[in-house]
Structure 1
Amino acid sequence: MGVGGWHWNDAWIFVSAVIAERLERDRAIHAALPVAGATLADLLAAADFLHHSVPSREDIEGSVRRLSGAGLITVDDDMFEVAPAGEQLWRTRPFSGLSSAVMTLQTQLNRSAEPGDADWTLTDQAYAAALREYRLRLADGR
């Protein structure tokens, strides 16, 4: 789509949020802890798993603004969750494996929703801290 439309990074960040939130929900349930969503470090880990690269601060900020503004994800106290509209989008996508999930979701986004523009900022410090946490997890084998 054009400048104001959905970007490939939006689909990448959305699928990463779905994966990260589900992993964290499963961990919380198995440990009898409250379910609180996924952290930015969790999102970075899922994004790296999907695309073998870590999104930049700018990519995350722009995508989260569009996805959150469209009501597909929520961010509260730096915890990412897939909103009900995002769950619906995920559940109704044509089935594909994870290798093609981002492409499939980008097509779905272009067909079903307009990007939003939520007021959300990812500071350099918060991004650096999440990146550090993710790299420590890698070093620890988590």
Structure 2
Amino acid sequence: MGAGAGGWHWNDAWIFVSVVIAERLERDRALHAALPMVGATLADVLAAADFLHHSVPSRAELQDSVRRLAGAGLLTIDDDLVEVAPAGEQLWRTRPFSGLSSAVLSLQAQLNRSSTPGDHDWTLDDSTYAAAVREYSLRLADGR
């Protein structure tokens, strides 16, 4: 599920598409509730990742991909809030349209053509990851 040495991994594209979906959903919720948009939470990203791939990324998968994407200027991360950066928006808008079923694969190919992974210094500690998983689990139990 990875790319060649130094390239983008499938997980990077999976997390990027998950952040795009999560941020769009949060933007819609904030707009309808007349609230300010502050980004998607890690629980939002986990929910979108599960929707896309029917699995929740591990702490290491999430941390590594966010570090690579943020380091390349495609995402911004502040504590547990993630947003698509302007360069990420441009990447998303110029991708070949493929629908969600193949969005991750087409996005990985586009990442490999357009940019190189970076290395942001963000760290996802175990307790923050566990809190995000717990929040997502509660949403599932509530049917949200």
C-alpha displacement at 1:76, in angstroms? 1.3
C-alpha displacement at 1:124, in angstroms? 0.5
TM-score (norm 2): 0.97
Which secondary structure does the structure 1 equivalent of 2:18 belong to? helix
C-alpha displacement at 1:77, in angstroms? 2.9
C-alpha displacement at 1:29, in angstroms? 0.4
Determine the structure 2 residue equivalent to 1:32.
34
Distance in 2 (CA, whole Å) between partners of 1:3 and 1:134 is: 33
Determine the structure 1 residue equivalent to 2:106.
104
Same amino acid, percent of matched pairs: 80
Distance in 2 (CA, whole Å) between partners of 1:126 and 1:10 is: 20
Determine the structure 2 residue equivalent to 1:9.
11
Paired residues, number:
142
Which secondary structure does the structure 2 equivalent of 1:10 belong to? helix
Distance in 2 (CA, whole Å) between partners of 1:123 and 1:76 is: 13
**Residue pairs, 1:25-64, within 5 angstroms:** 25-64=27-66
Determine the structure 1 residue equivalent to 2:74.
72
After TM superposition, where is structure 1 displaced by more than 6 Å over at least 4 residues in a row? none
Structure 1: runs of 5 or more not aligned: none
Which secondary structure does the structure 1 equivalent of 2:77 belong to? strand
Determine the structure 2 residue equivalent to 1:18.
20
TM-score (norm 1): 0.98
